[in-house]
Structure 1
Amino acid sequence: MPLPLYLLAVAVFAMGTSEFMLSGLVPDIATGLDVSVGTAGLLTSAFAVGMILGAPLMAVLARRWPARASLLGFVLVFALTHVAGALTSSFPVLLSTRVIAALANAGFLAVALSTATTLVAAAQKGRALAVLLSGTTVATIAGVPGGAVLGTLLGWRATFWAIALLCLPAAFGIVKGIPDHAQGTGPDAPAGPSLRTEIAQLATPRLILVMLLGALVNAATFAAFTFLAPIVTDTAGLDELWVSVVLVLFGAGSFAGVTLAGRLSDRRPGIVIGIGSPMLLLGWVTLATVAAQPVALLILVFVQGALSFAVGSTLIARVLHESAAAPTMGGSYATAALNIGAAGGPAIAAAALGAGAGDLGPIWVSALLAAFAVLTALPLRRVITPRVGQAIR
């Protein structure tokens, strides 16, 4: 894989850490800015909404910009929002910075997803996306726990400074490693499809299907991931220190899953979806059943991280494949599918908790969402992964 892909993954790591780190910082932010914990929790919702709306909006804005200029601009804006967040003593200002950061994150990811597939041969697109998305999985392994530790030791503002600093090598790497022509855009690039033509691709049934499945699988993933802490401490009866261990195990599993899927999703996506989806459903049901047993919990968290990201990243690769006729907007469609799931899953899981489902309610929500995905995907597996030569089987 070309070096620029790994440089893009560094930026994805910084952004993924920022997106997920607030789950451990909300109480400190609430205290520091003199707001309630519930109000501070709006920071997470604001970021998710910004990601969903920002993906298509930022892709439209940047569709005729050179890839390098777009990626660099988004990274620098993202860094500056974290500097502002670290300095402010106003909650409304901090909330605004999270929305702007999400817009920059969404724009970066939309362009990066499209750019990544242009840096490699057609038969290596799945592997390229696996490298790019590994930045997110490494964020769950190291970035989020590291941010929590840094926040505990030095205060929540220190984590914002750390994210801003982490953007600098990513920006340098983009300048040095990403050619202007990587996305085939810019003032001197040949004219591609019109914006109307690219948006019209959203009416393609196969694209709608893989976006729906990607959103369902990601919703199941984050419904459980967001509420793992009370399961670890209350259901399994482990010490609070084990929460970080469980998060690292989930992240390590996700890294393994996205790496394995990268090897298979180019040539055998049907195998990943056809076998991985039922196993994912079975895993959530099993986890909900045996979560009180610490050893089983630790094993299954790793397994579910691997299956979730293997199936999820393969479906996102299919979104980009099905939106090939939308070269500048396809990445935003994939980003929107990812983040609709990332926002919707935890919201449904929170509703289940509020309805008295108990600590295991979010796991059963994940199982239900995975069941919808399986019941939709398996009968239509040949539609999702049609046979076209040897590249897609």
Structure 2
Amino acid sequence: MPLALYVLALAVFAQGTSEFMLSGLVPDLARDLGVSVSAAGALTSAFAAGMIAGAPLMAVAGLRWPRRRALTAFLVVFVLVHVVGAVTDDFGVLLVTRVLAAVANAGFLAVGLAAAVAMVPQDAKGRATSVLLGGVTLACVAGVPGGAVLGQAFGWRAAFWAVALACLPALYAVLRRIPATSEEGAPRSVRGEARVLREARVVVVLVLAALVNAATFCVFTYLAPLVTEVAGLAEGWVPAVLALFGLGSFAGVSVAGRLSDTRPAPLLAGGGIALLAGWALLAATAGSPVAAVLLAFVQGALAFAVGSALIARALYAASGAPSLGGSFATAALNVGAAVGPALGGLALAAGLGHRSPAWAAVVLVATALLIGILARRTLFTSADDQSSDLRA
């Protein structure tokens, strides 16, 4: 894999830390700003909403920009809004900064995905995707638990400052390692790429990605109260459990990298069934500290293995839309990241208990599996996928 791809992963790590870190900061942030836990959880949904709108809009806006210029601009905006978020005492202002940070993050990830698949051979899109998303999983391993530790020691604002500082070396690396000009050749047509994105095989895989990610975020956003209120572990255990989830997600993405190029059907079918069973098991046994800790690792691995495989499928299916394909894949993930915490928050607000987000995840994954079964042929009908399907 090209060195520039790992540079992009470094930047995605810094931004992924911001996207996920609220799962360990929600209780502290809610107390400090005088809002409910479910309201504080809405910050995650606000970030996801910004990603949904920002991914296609920023991809279109930067369609003819040199990729280094676009990536640099998005990263600078991301740093600035985190500085504002770190100093504000107003929940509304913080909410706005999360949306703006998400728009910048969405633009970066959309352009980054397009750049990543352009750097590798046509049959290595899954591996390129896994390297880029590896930055997200490393954020879960190191960045998110680190943010939780900083939040517990110095308050949630310290985590926002840390994210802004972590972006600076990534910004330097983008300026040094990403080519100054685009390498796509002929100008790209927004209308032509949009036609590709309306094809059935693209739409189906994006819907599946949204549902699976909704399940993941539904649980992950409220993992801290699940660990403390249901499993009965002390608050000091929260960073460790988040780190285990992150280690699992890194392992899942790493394994899925090659399998999503060569054996996508068994990976998605087997992984989806195991993911469904795992969320049900977590909901039923979360009162056991051992079960909660072990399943945090297992579910992190399964969720990100299936999720990254679906993104690779989206990029294969949308090979005729090299720029907007990545942006719509990003948007689909974040539709899930917005819907999931919202559903979990509604369940908590309704008094259904801290296990309820895990039960909601069961319903979401079951829906994805049903759609996947009904649309199996549609998922693997493009010319790019035929060889992979035969190997499945």
Task: Find the residue that maps to 1:272 and give its secondary structure.
Answer: helix
Equivalent position amino acid for 1:190 in 2: A
Is 1:313 matched up with 2:343?
Answer: no
Aligned residue in 2 for 1:373 = 368
**2: CA distance, partners of 1:205 / 1:267:** 22
Q: Identity of aligned pairs, percent? A: 57
Contact 1:114 1:183 in 2 (8 A): no
Is 1:260 matched up with 2:261?
Answer: no
Q: CA distance change for structure 1 residues 89 and 225 in 2, over 3 Å: closer, same or farther?
A: closer
**2: CA distance, partners of 1:72 / 1:60:** 16
Contact 2:23 2:220 in 1 (8 A): no
Q: Pick the aligned partner of 1:215 from 192, 210, 214.
A: 210
Is 1:279 matched up with 2:274?
Answer: yes
Contact 2:201 2:380 in 1 (8 A): no
Aligned residue in 2 for 1:190 = 186
Q: Which runs of 5+ in 1 are unaligned?
A: none
For residues 208-235 of structure 1, what are the alpha-carbon distances to aligned partners after superposition, in whole Å with 9 as ceiling and x for unaligned? 1000000011011111111222322232
Contact 1:48 1:343 in 2 (8 A): yes
**2: CA distance, partners of 1:205 / 1:239:** 48
User: How far is 1:196 from its partner?
Assistant: 1.5
Aligned residue in 2 for 1:345 = 340
**1: CA distance, partners of 2:337 / 2:182:** 29
What TM-score comes out, normalization by structure 2 length?
Answer: 0.93
Aligned residue in 2 for 1:120 = 120
**2: CA distance, partners of 1:108 / 1:213:** 23
Equivalent position amino acid for 1:300 in 2: L
User: How far is 1:16 from its partner?
Assistant: 1.0
Aligned residue in 1 for 2:387 = 390
Aligned residue in 2 for 1:249 = 244
Equivalent position amino acid for 1:351 in 2: L
User: How far is 1:108 from its partner?
Assistant: 0.4
**2: CA distance, partners of 1:153 / 1:236:** 23
Aligned residue in 2 for 1:133 = 133
Contact 1:230 1:359 in 2 (8 A): yes
User: How far is 1:364 from its partner?
Assistant: 0.9
User: How far is 1:382 from its partner?
Assistant: 3.4
Equivalent position amino acid for 1:384 in 2: L
Q: CA distance change for structure 1 residues 183 and 75 in 2, over 3 Å: closer, same or farther?
A: farther
Task: Find the residue that maps to 1:265 and give its secondary structure.
Answer: helix
What TM-score comes out, normalization by structure 1 length?
Answer: 0.92
**2: CA distance, partners of 1:329 / 1:318:** 15
Q: CA distance change for structure 1 residues 101 and 371 in 2, over 3 Å: closer, same or farther?
A: same
Is 1:233 matched up with 2:223?
Answer: no
Q: CA distance change for structure 1 residues 227 and 37 in 2, over 3 Å: closer, same or farther?
A: closer
Equivalent position amino acid for 1:151 in 2: G
User: How far is 1:357 from its partner?
Assistant: 2.3
User: How far is 1:203 from its partner?
Assistant: 1.8
